[in-house]
Chain A
Amino acid sequence: MAGSQLKRLKASLHDQGIIGPQQSKKQKRKNAEELRAKPEKRLQRGEALASIREQFNPFQFKTNARGPKFDVTTNKPAGDRAAMGIKGRPGLAKAVGEERRRQTLLVEMQRRNKVGGLIDRRFGEDDPNLSVEDKMIERYTREQMRNHKKSSMFDLEDDDERMGGLTHMGRPLFDDDEDAAPPKDDFDEEDLPSGDESDSSRAERRRLKRQRLEEEAEDQEEEDEQPERKKTKKEIYEEIIAKSKQHKFERQQAKDEDNELREELDKAMPELQALLFQRHPQTAKDGKETRDSILIAGKEKTAVDKDYDIRVKQLAADTRAQPAERTKTEEETAEEESNRLKELEEKRLRRMRGEADESDEEEEEEENERGRGKGKKKKGDAEDGAFDPFNAEEDDDQFGLGKGVPSKGVKYQPTATELGFDDEDDFLIEDDLVASGSELEFDSDDMEGEESDEDAASGAESDDDEFVKEILTEAVTKDAVFQIAGKTKKNDENGIPYTFPCPQTHEEMLQIFEGFEVTKLPVAVQRIRALYHPKLDSKNKERLGKFSQVLVQHVAYLGDNFEPHWFPTLEHLTRHIHSLAKSFPIEVARAYRAHIQVIEQERPLSLTVGDLIILTAVGTTFPTSDHFHQVVTPAMLAIARFLGQKIPQQLSDYAIGTYLAILALQYQQFSKRYVPEMMNFCLNTLCSLANEKSLEQLGFFPIHEPVAGVRVKGASKTAVRQLNCADCQPGQSLSREDEASLKVAIISTTTAILKAAAETWHKLPAFHETFLPALLVLQHLASKPNAAHLPAALSATLKDTTSLLARLLQLARLARRPLELHHHKPLAIRTYVPKFEDSFDPTKHYDLDRERAELAKLRAEHKRERKGAVRELRKDAAFMQRENLRVKKQRDEAYEKKYKRLVAEIQGEEGKAANEYAREKEARKRKAAKGKW
């Protein structure tokens, strides 16, 4: 680009063909014609000129001064403006701003200090560019548009009217659908004499009409020929409109009918109500109702409405209004029960796998909910036959409402038939599904009652239910005696008092039951539970909680001072604790844990019979199969500790260990978890009791050299018996025969345990390794030098067990497969690519503190706005100044002009006068000269 600006301009104009060499007139004309023919060419020309203008104004655009940042990103030539990227058009922006100011600010300026005036808002009134016609057209369309939308949705009337309001003499101005108009109108029209219309025009119209009719006929024919004539839009719309009108009408009709019906009903209401409440023997109300009906007849409206509302509320509150459960058939209840048990079993399995940990809480709640629901349902079913099913739904209402129940006044004494039925029902379900077997026979009636309670408790989850029943049965069996006994300390035929204080500590318990026969304790406990039922007093809950703890202590106490015939009693007490544990799980668990803690701190390796009983009770009260359990896990640890760490010093230690080994195995009966300590203890026991020490190592279990006299010797004549709790008491002096029999009993029991263990654990993967030592030990025991000292029966069992073990081992070997533990999905290699911000802006603050970041953002925005506002204000000020200046200049100019004009005028006049003067002077001079002459 060489040359001056002017030259370049010329060159570019030339290039665009805007200027060129001188053209002849002919060419010019031709060009002009072309231009007229093709307006786009003119446009092109304009465009070209604009681009040239742009090109030559360096301030037209704001561009990136150094060009694009990365050349490679564009294929446009480097020097090109477009390539550099136009960032703004300051000239244009300035012009726009100026224009806007002129429109707003200037107007304001001019209006300043001016008051009043009339603003003409008519369209186009102050627009000089519009012609009158355009104005009128525009105004008409606006009006049309304004009226276009119907004001009311349900306005039926104006539907067929013209939208437009412009009429001429009551007729629409633009009637473009004359042919659709009914012929009658035409006729009327025709008949109407119109002074305005000329005859010719009428004739003309008639002619046209005839023509139209003809055409119509033709159309008709055509329609006949082709029945599917396409309807015009108008027709379609009309059809739709007609239809909708019809529907509307129908609805209206239906509504009216409904209203009539309702009115009728309203009138008949009293009779209906009388029908509804017929079962209530409320004669008084009836009287009122009749009065109501009279009143309704008499149209005393407010009173009727009020009464009606009350009625509705009563109906809603009535329990009978709630939907009743269908009475279930026996199969259904049985199925439900089995489902419930299945569910519980599944839950147990889940706990066994240690899965339920997280959702325990909710589940428990759920369980309670469900349990309660079940209980209710059951109750409903049971009592269905006896009385109104509605009232039995809610336990509280059952007593509170008391309408359906015959005996109104006495709260806790329903009839015996209901209860008997109830109990029996539960009992049957229980027997069918939960356990298989018959009940123990108890001599006293209370016992039986208690039994069935227990069953009910195990059947139904709901504690409330269980306890209510208990109370009820209690009350029934004792009826009046029970009530009186509370005041006068009477005893029943067995010499058991009817009332007891609720012991809160073990000392109290011991005091209360001092001299009391232990075997009768369960009855007492059962009576205490009934007497202090939580429903009877708010404090009873706490009392019974404490009592359950005391009971645990007492069981341990009884165990420590046991007598052989106490065990059924202990069993009953344990079951009582179990049933109490359902309502007081935390208290009972704490009591058991406290006992285990005492064991751990005081006698970890010298357990008493009471401890054994407690550990057994733990195993029955709580699910031992759980992966983790707050009570069972410590109990199991306590057992394992004894089995693992105790080095037996006397035969009683072996007996205790054997008991615990059985217990450990029983704990794991369901979950089949492995207990190494149990194996160790059993094997060590057998090795210690064997007459001879084994020469080779029998396995990897630790062997403790027994104390002298422990090894069995010469017991071949001893009868094989079972171990009992008396064997567990340390420090007793036994005769030789007794000792031998004890040793034989220990050996036989341990062998049985090993057998049971092998059956329990035969699926374990290392069964072979685990039980091979057992096999070796048993073989060692059954070998000649040892077997000679054992009774023949025991030797036979040993042999049996050995062969069983050998068979199981063989099976285990066959079932064994190499381990394939790691079929895991391969882990992806962890990536350490940093997390990139997609649109990172170094000027931006990536503040992690959200509030602060937002504040900063707001502040920046405020600053920006402020700057903008200041700039605008400055521009406004400059504009105003400029305007003022312009106005002033204009004024000055006008003044100058005027001044000049005046001066010129004056000068002209002066000159004229001077000329006249000069002429006069000349004339005079000439005259004088003439005169002279």
Chain B
Amino acid sequence: MGPPVADPAPKAAAKRKRQENGDSSKKRRKSAGGDDDAAESPKARIQKLEAEIQESRKHYNNIVALIELAQRHRADPKTALPASEALCRIFIRLLAAGTLVKRKDVSEKDATVTGWLRDRLGDYRGSLLSMFRSQELASNALVLAMALLKAEAQHLTDHGEAVFPRYFFADILASLLESPVEHIRDEFSEKFVDEYDDIRFYTFEALKGYLTDREDDVGADVKNTIFDMLLSIEDVPESADDLEDFFVEPPQKKKKHPLRSLSQHKKQAQEAWLAFMHLGLSKEQRKKVLEVMAVSIAPWFTQPELLMDFLTDCYNTGGSISLLALSGVFYLIQERNLDYPEFFTKLYSLLDADMLHSKHRSRFFRLLDTFLGSSHLPAVMVASFIKRLARLALNAPPSAIVVILPWFYNLFKKHPLTTFMMHRVPRTKEEKALQESEGVEDPFLPEEKDPMETNAIDSCLWEIVQLQSHYHPNVATITKIISEQFTKQAYSLEDFLDHSYGSLLEAEMSKEVKKAPVVEYMIPKRIFTKAEPTSEETNSLLVSLWDFGSS
């Protein structure tokens, strides 16, 4: 036991020195506070205990004392932290020295010591994990736990190769998930999961294990945290070559180690996600999942088909969930050759009253633009989409109208047959006479579900012409593009998406008033008061409909 201990001694001494310095400064601060001895003694004691352990095996019992100190973190966090730091150093040294490795060729006494030490290690782990719940100590505890994990992986077994201590890791993760401290999870994903491929791998594994073990016992909070954690794991590796950052170096000999295989990584992720989804999602979670589906979930899946049911279910739900599911469904159609029957009918049904008011509007339009991008679609169907959106535009906010119009323009350009909706000259005299006498009934069937049957192609876009006199000048101007000559090749939709009342107002407000605005030349006689009943004056709309209390 002697020689291996001697090796880290200088380092330890240095550390001690540093610690002493730290202590002295603390001491000074403390003395200013007034209670020296009470605070000083535990630190000094910890140092003493640590030093003794290093000196000889005889003092191994000090470990117990230290563990006790560490376990009392709730009562005395200030002592618990240095104690657990000291313990960490001790155990890492012991591990490095191989003291904790069970060997068959050693004496029984040594084996007992090893066993005892292993038990203490277990205690220490427990105390570390319990520290995760403490607001102040959590992040330190996490760092210590991970350091311990690394040391264990390298030295705990006899093999000379690192073996990832899965159980310890699973425990760490479980305590992380159950800890009330939010920021350590962020820290964990930032410092470890994002950085190291193997940690990510084992995180997925541990999460899956956690979920499958507990199934229904998982609380809503924990579920949320798991969800957040899963969401935060983003960067999907492109190829096996990207897998090179490891926390614990995996064995070099075996080429087929799962850590080095991309498909294994993906499989872990997929399983974790599936296990999570298996538990059922709340509406919010579902929305969130759908939102990031195409970007950060589906790429993890080696078999995205597994998502098919989930997505089609969501897609059929209707409302904003459908809108969100659309991108996932599209991903499957595009990547996995999913055959979605009556896709366009379904798409058409998504154009309901709330669609243009939804905050996922621009997202939807991006997709819609992709779906209807082909020039081989039947003009009848495209016309249905145009007419339906035109109807919706009658009740839409300006920011939505602004998107629709350029898109219409592009469709008109692509499907010249639909331009009859803007320009329809009566072909015969009789027809004209009929129109003169009876007017025109709109042939469009708004209730029809099938976009091929709505007769929209025979209709006209009166709605858009009405919007040419929209109250917002820019909207009115954009709406006029359909009655101008179609000289432009196409509008870039991106320029028109992502507007809102706020941004429109901001645009107006950012212009400084330089030129004197026109002032109404006539000062009205009445604004709030009612006109004398005998006079010829007429009340304004406001006065006639609102009671201003005067008369």
Residues of chain B in range 509-551 having any CB-CB distance to chain A below 8 Å: 509, 511, 513-529, 531-532, 535-537, 540-542, 545-550
Given A633-B508, A644-B397, A659-B546, is A435 in contact with B441 using a C-beta cutoff of 8 Å? no
A436 contacts across to B, CB distance below 8 A: 535-537
Most buried by B among A457, A817, A818: A818
For the complex, give the distance between the alpha carbons of A923 and B452 in Å: 161
Given A567-B549, A620-B527, A766-B394, is A636 in contact with B519 using a C-beta cutoff of 8 Å? no
A756 contacts across to B, CB distance below 8 A: 541, 545
Tell me how far the C-beta of A450 lies from the nearest C-beta in chain B, rounded to whole angstroms: 12
Tell me how far the C-beta of A401 lies from the nearest C-beta in chain B, rounded to whole angstroms: 32
Contact partner of B465 (CB less than 8 A), chosen from A581, A679, A680, A765, is A765
A816 contacts across to B, CB distance below 8 A: 439-440, 442, 462
B207 contacts across to A, CB distance below 8 A: none
B396 contacts across to A, CB distance below 8 A: 676
Contact partner of A702 (CB less than 8 A), chosen from B354, B511, B518, is B354
Residues of chain A in range 640-657 having any CB-CB distance to chain B below 8 Å: 640-641, 644-645
Q: Mark A594-607, 1 if CB is under 8 A from B, else 0.
A: 00110010001000
Asked whether any CB of chain A lies closer than 8 Å to the CB of B357, the reply is yes
Asked whether any CB of chain B lies closer than 8 Å to the CB of A701, the reply is yes
Pair B439/A630 contact, Cβ less than 8 Å: no
Asked whether any CB of chain B lies closer than 8 Å to the CB of A203, the reply is no
Tell me how far the C-beta of A503 lies from the nearest C-beta in chain B, rounded to whole angstroms: 22
**Total B residues in contact with A, Cβ cutoff 8 Å:** 83
Pair B471/A581 contact, Cβ less than 8 Å: no
A752 contacts across to B, CB distance below 8 A: 545
Pair A672/B524 contact, Cβ less than 8 Å: no
Asked whether any CB of chain A lies closer than 8 Å to the CB of B482, the reply is yes
Asked whether any CB of chain B lies closer than 8 Å to the CB of A770, the reply is yes
Tell me how far the C-beta of A904 lies from the nearest C-beta in chain B, rounded to whole angstroms: 107
Tell me how far the C-beta of A699 lies from the nearest C-beta in chain B, rounded to whole angstroms: 7
Asked whether any CB of chain A lies closer than 8 Å to the CB of B159, the reply is no
For the complex, give the distance between the alpha carbons of A827 and B517 in Å: 38
**A633 and chain B: residue at smallest CB distance:** B508
Q: Mark A315-351, 1 if CB is under 8 A from B, else 0.
A: 0000000000000000000000000000010000001
Tell me how far the C-beta of A302 lies from the nearest C-beta in chain B, rounded to whole angstroms: 56
Contact partner of B526 (CB less than 8 A), chosen from A344, A571, A623, is A571
Given A724-B549, A766-B463, is A701 in contact with B520 using a C-beta cutoff of 8 Å? no
Contact partner of B501 (CB less than 8 A), chosen from A568, A641, A669, A814, is A641
For the complex, give the distance between the alpha carbons of A642 and B353 in Å: 18
Pair A814/B473 contact, Cβ less than 8 Å: no
Asked whether any CB of chain A lies closer than 8 Å to the CB of B469, the reply is yes
Given A436-B537, A633-B472, is A586 in contact with B516 using a C-beta cutoff of 8 Å? yes
For the complex, give the distance between the alpha carbons of A628 and B517 in Å: 10
Task: Kindly specify which of B11-19, B32-40, B149-157, B418-426 makes contact with the partner chain.
Answer: B418-426
Pair B442/A768 contact, Cβ less than 8 Å: yes
Pair A568/B528 contact, Cβ less than 8 Å: yes
Asked whether any CB of chain B lies closer than 8 Å to the CB of A822, the reply is yes
Asked whether any CB of chain B lies closer than 8 Å to the CB of A707, the reply is no
Pair A702/B523 contact, Cβ less than 8 Å: no
**B438 and chain A: residue at smallest CB distance:** A814
Contact partner of B423 (CB less than 8 A), chosen from A623, A676, A821, is A821
B483 contacts across to A, CB distance below 8 A: 821-822
Q: Is the interface of B mostly helix, strand, loop or mixed?
A: loop
Pair A565/B550 contact, Cβ less than 8 Å: yes
Asked whether any CB of chain A lies closer than 8 Å to the CB of B290, the reply is no
Contact partner of A434 (CB less than 8 A), chosen from B471, B522, B531, is B522
Asked whether any CB of chain B lies closer than 8 Å to the CB of A578, the reply is yes
Given A769-B394, A769-B463, A815-B439, is A623 in contact with B469 using a C-beta cutoff of 8 Å? no
Asked whether any CB of chain B lies closer than 8 Å to the CB of A473, the reply is no
For the complex, give the distance between the alpha carbons of A600 and B422 in Å: 38
Pair B470/A700 contact, Cβ less than 8 Å: no
Asked whether any CB of chain A lies closer than 8 Å to the CB of B461, the reply is yes
* Size bin of chain A's contact surface: 35 or more
For the complex, give the distance between the alpha carbons of A472 and B136 in Å: 78
Contact partner of A597 (CB less than 8 A), chosen from B394, B425, B509, B549, is B509
For the complex, give the distance between the alpha carbons of A361 and B518 in Å: 11
B395 contacts across to A, CB distance below 8 A: 676, 679-680, 699-702
Asked whether any CB of chain A lies closer than 8 Å to the CB of B272, the reply is no
Contact partner of B532 (CB less than 8 A), chosen from A344, A438, A641, is A438
Contact partner of A574 (CB less than 8 A), chosen from B514, B527, B548, is B527
Contact partner of B470 (CB less than 8 A), chosen from A581, A634, A673, is A673
Task: Kindly specify which of A115-123, A230-238, A660-668 makes contact with the partner chain.
Answer: A660-668
Residues of chain A in range 546-570 having any CB-CB distance to chain B below 8 Å: 564-565, 567-568, 570
Pair B523/A578 contact, Cβ less than 8 Å: yes
Asked whether any CB of chain B lies closer than 8 Å to the CB of A458, the reply is yes
For the complex, give the distance between the alpha carbons of A924 and B42 in Å: 183
A585 contacts across to B, CB distance below 8 A: 516-519
For the complex, give the distance between the alpha carbons of A837 and B73 in Å: 93
Asked whether any CB of chain A lies closer than 8 Å to the CB of B485, the reply is yes
B381 contacts across to A, CB distance below 8 A: none
Asked whether any CB of chain A lies closer than 8 Å to the CB of B504, the reply is yes
For the complex, give the distance between the alpha carbons of A813 and B442 in Å: 9
For the complex, give the distance between the alpha carbons of A666 and B540 in Å: 8
Most buried by A among B485, B504, B549: B549
Q: Mark A797-832, 1 if CB is under 8 A from B, else 0.
A: 000000000000000011111111111100100000
Residues of chain B in range 350-395 having any CB-CB distance to chain A below 8 Å: 352-354, 357, 391-395
Pair A766/B462 contact, Cβ less than 8 Å: yes
B470 contacts across to A, CB distance below 8 A: 673-676
Contact partner of A662 (CB less than 8 A), chosen from B423, B424, B531, B545, is B545
Pair A586/B513 contact, Cβ less than 8 Å: yes
Tell me how far the C-beta of B149 lies from the nearest C-beta in chain A, rounded to whole angstroms: 50
Pair A627/B476 contact, Cβ less than 8 Å: yes
Asked whether any CB of chain B lies closer than 8 Å to the CB of A616, the reply is yes
Asked whether any CB of chain B lies closer than 8 Å to the CB of A481, the reply is no
Residues of chain A in range 750-786 having any CB-CB distance to chain B below 8 Å: 752-753, 756, 764-770
Pair A581/B519 contact, Cβ less than 8 Å: yes
B425 contacts across to A, CB distance below 8 A: 818, 820
Pair A586/B517 contact, Cβ less than 8 Å: yes
B397 contacts across to A, CB distance below 8 A: 640, 644-645, 676-677
Asked whether any CB of chain B lies closer than 8 Å to the CB of A452, the reply is no
For the complex, give the distance between the alpha carbons of A662 and B466 in Å: 20
For the complex, give the distance between the alpha carbons of A581 and B518 in Å: 9
Asked whether any CB of chain A lies closer than 8 Å to the CB of B220, the reply is no
Given A633-B472, A701-B395, is A817 in contact with B523 using a C-beta cutoff of 8 Å? no
**B508 and chain A: residue at smallest CB distance:** A634
Pair B546/A724 contact, Cβ less than 8 Å: yes
For the complex, give the distance between the alpha carbons of A823 and B425 in Å: 10
For the complex, give the distance between the alpha carbons of A80 and B270 in Å: 96
B394 contacts across to A, CB distance below 8 A: 676, 679, 700, 766, 769-770
A344 contacts across to B, CB distance below 8 A: 521
For the complex, give the distance between the alpha carbons of A724 and B528 in Å: 11
Contact partner of B519 (CB less than 8 A), chosen from A621, A723, A724, is A621
Which A positions have Cβ atoms within 8 angstroms of B?
344, 351, 354, 360-361, 364, 434-438, 440, 454, 457-458, 461, 564-565, 567-568, 570-571, 574-575, 578-579, 581-582, 585-586, 588-590, 593, 596-597, 600, 604, 616-617, 620-623, 626-631, 633-634, 636-638, 640-641, 644-645, 659, 662-669, 671-677, 679-680, 697, 699-703, 721-725, 749, 752-753, 756, 764-770, 813-824, 827
Which 9 pairs of residues, A with B, have the shortest CB-CB distance? A564-B549, A437-B537, A722-B547, A814-B439, A766-B466, A437-B535, A641-B501, A585-B516, A821-B483
What are 15 A-B residue pairs whose CB atoms fall within 8 Å in the complex? A458-B521, A568-B529, A585-B518, A597-B509, A634-B509, A641-B501, A665-B541, A666-B542, A676-B470, A724-B546, A749-B546, A769-B391, A817-B440, A821-B482, A824-B485
Which B positions have Cβ atoms within 8 angstroms of A?
352-354, 357, 391-398, 419, 421-426, 435, 438-442, 446, 460-463, 465-467, 469-473, 476-477, 482-483, 485, 487, 501-502, 504-506, 508-509, 511, 513-529, 531-532, 535-537, 540-542, 545-550
